[in-house]
Structure 1
Amino acid sequence: MNAKAHTNLQLDAASFRAIADLAYRESGLTLVEEKATMIQSRLRQRLRALGLSNFQDYCTLIGSDDGHTERRHLISALTTNVSHFFRESHHFETLATVLENRLPHLRAGGTMRIWSAGCSNGQEAVSALITLLEHAPEVANLDLRILGTDIDPKVVAFARAGVYPDRLMGGVSDALRAKYFTNANTADGEAEYATNEMIRRMIRFNELNLLGQWPMARPFDLILCRNVVIYFDAQTQAALWPRFRKVLKSDGLLFLGHSERISDPARFGFDCTGPTTYAPLA
């Protein structure tokens, strides 16, 4: 297929609806027609990679039994992964307080578990751990671990590698860079920074679809699910809240993004205790 044919690829209405329906079923993503041009632009790359000449053939593929792998690529292409270190700083201030309350338990041999749900490229999980280490360096030798999960296998791989170009290091002071990162190879003239061994040891990154099964066995002291459910409709959000409540300790906290809210939190067993901060009701 020539370059001109690629350039003229158009996302027709029927294909948009098929893609939107599949994205909703697979991941809870709600795609609106106003975003059709953006979706077309992102998915053209997938059609080029597969050598397909139209979106109708692409929809046939992703709807087939042989389309499992491509469905993962589809969700990856449609997912917006925007993050930065120490985003929404008030949550990290609260996190330090949570740790202070749990230090006696940790020192006595107890555990603390944190889940960064929708972790993107790992900056949120790393920010959380740095906050904890700065508040109490001893936690490096205590049973504290962070789990980061995301539906997008590409960003999970990025987070596991833990190598950040300089343009993604905003919010990290020079002192924190020196303490928790090492200089990596310079790529295309831009410096890169790799998380150190301690950070990599205390954080685990896995691929996970929030709409699928959750294999975690232990309850969490804290769940950060920030700027994720904004992409879900009210029905999907309502199905998630009780699931979060079930895997949260009775004295744990759930953090949402700045534009996200639990409508009628008591209905789902939560109480709003601060800006986009929710605690389980007793």
Structure 2
Amino acid sequence: MSSSASQRRADEYSLSEEEYRFVCKLVYDCTGIVLDERKREMVYRRLMRRVRETGLPSFSSYCERLKNDEQELPAFINSITTNLTSFFRENHHFEYLKSQIIPDLIRGKSDRKLRIWSAACSTGEEPYSIGISLLEAMQGRLQEWDAKVLATDLDSECIEKAKAGIYKTERISALQDNRQKRWFMKGKSTTSDSVKIKSEVAALITFKTLNLLHDWPMKGPFDVIFCRNVLIYFDRATQAELIARYHALLSQGGYLMLGHSESLPADYIGFEVVGRTVFRRL
């Protein structure tokens, strides 16, 4: 390829300042996620994959499609949103759920209903970790309770992967052997490198696609809401709005779990801190 042809190719797949501003605004308008200059390289890499998938010749032509074809928006959002997750990530939350919250609810709830919401469930590792924690904490008594876990995410592709409950074996390699054997099934083939979450865990969980900035169809109340490593992507006004909405959906004394780098505003009086990024509704 000649140097002039290489330059034309590079120009076609360059992301101009105007195009980047357009992408950032569209992401914000659709999801509330704030992108800045520090995210440019990440946005470029993720959008490049999508541009190539569509067969379009340039970022410019892809931006034109976004302006004129609403059906492309879900794929666009799926390509941008972050889906970093793992089983029992930030394990102190699951330990607190298992050792403190569930025993307290068992002692204090006469209606024998448990409701937990994983508000950004990605490919399912978080809600399945919640389900495993529930089963381990209840020690065979879960059938006596009406226990349900709602798992939602903006990314429709992630929701489909989560529903399948199938993961590469390496995804559970950090778990204790007894957890691997108790809650996962190996593939039938002797050469299979995949595992599937067991049905008794999967039966606890309902997966739904949900944009947190839109209306929430569920009424609550929830005993626990996991919203971890989500607030960091929003501006302060949107963070405050989401926190207020979570507060309204929690039961009296319900718990909100945030990510390791997240916190509530210092002047927010709706919660008390009871653990590391664990907040209890007053």
Name the TM-score, length of structure 2 as normaliser. Answer: 0.90
CA-atom RMSD, angstroms? 2.1
**In the aligned structure 2, how far is the partner of 1:170 from the partner of 1:121?**
17
Instruction: Report the alpha carbon displacement of residue 170 of structure 1 after superposing the two structures with TM.
Output: 3.6
Q: Deviations over 1:150-206 (max 9, x none)?
A: 10111111110001101211432221121111112569x661110111111111111
Task: Give 1:61's aligned amino acid.
Answer: R
**The residue matched to 2:242 in structure 1 has which SS?**
helix
Which residue in 1 is equivalent to 2:178?
175
Tell me: CA distance 1:109–1:245, structure 2 relative to 1, closer, same or farther (3 Å): closer
Residue from 162, 166, 185 that aligns with 1:163:
166
The residue that corresponds to 1:256 in the other structure is: 258
Q: Is the 8 A contact 2:115 2:149 kept in 1?
A: yes
Q: Distance in 1 between matches of 2:229 and 2:173?
A: 19
Partner of 1:59: 63
- How many Å separate the matches in 2 of 1:141 and 1:184? 31
- What do the CA deviations read for 1:70-106 (whole angstroms, capped 9, x no partner)? 1111111111111111111221122121110111456
1: CA distance, partners of 2:144 / 2:195: 24
- Does structure 1 residue 152 correspond to structure 2 residue 155? yes
Q: Give the letter aligned to residue 164 of structure 1.
A: Y
Whether the 8 Å CA contact 2:112–2:144 is kept in 1: the answer is no
Report how far residue 265 of structure 1 moved: 5.1
Which position in structure 1 is the counterpart of 2:208?
206
Q: Is the 8 A contact 1:222 1:254 kept in 2?
A: yes
Q: Is residue 258–residue 276 contact of structure 1 (8 Å, CA) maintained in 2?
A: yes
Q: Secondary structure at the match of 2:268?
A: helix
Identity of counterpart residues, as a percentage?
36
Cα separation, 2, equivalents of 1:149 and 1:94: 22
Q: Unpaired runs of 5+ in structure 2?
A: none
Specify which of 81, 92, 95 is matched with residue 94 of structure 2: 92
Compared with structure 1, are the counterparts of its residues 186 and 173 closer, same or farther at alpha carbon in structure 2 (3 Å cutoff)? farther
1:186 touches 1:192 (CA, 8 Å); kept in 2? no
Over 4 Å off, 4+ runs: 3-8
CA distance in 1, matches of 2:126, 2:165: 12
Which residue type is aligned with residue 271 of structure 2? F
Query: Structure 1 residues 27-36 or 213-222, which shifts more?
Result: 27-36
In structure 2, the CA distance between the partners of 1:6 and 1:51, relative to structure 1 (3 Å rule), is farther
Structure-2 change in CA distance of 1:222 and 1:265 (3 Å):
farther
Q: How does 1:102-181 map to 2 (within 5 A)?
A: 102-104=105-107, 109-137=111-139, 138-181=141-184
Deviation of 1:234 after TM superposition, in Å, equals 1.4
Note the residue ranges of structure 1 that are not aligned, 5 or more in a row: none
Give the superposition deviation at 1:62: 1.6
Number of aligned positions between the proteins:
274
Residue of 16, 27, 33 corresponding to 2:31: 27
* In 1: Cα distance, 2:116 partner to 2:134 partner: 11
**CA 171–128 in structure 1, closer or farther in 2 if over 3 Å, else same:** farther
What is aligned with 1:42? 46
Partner residue of 1:70? 72
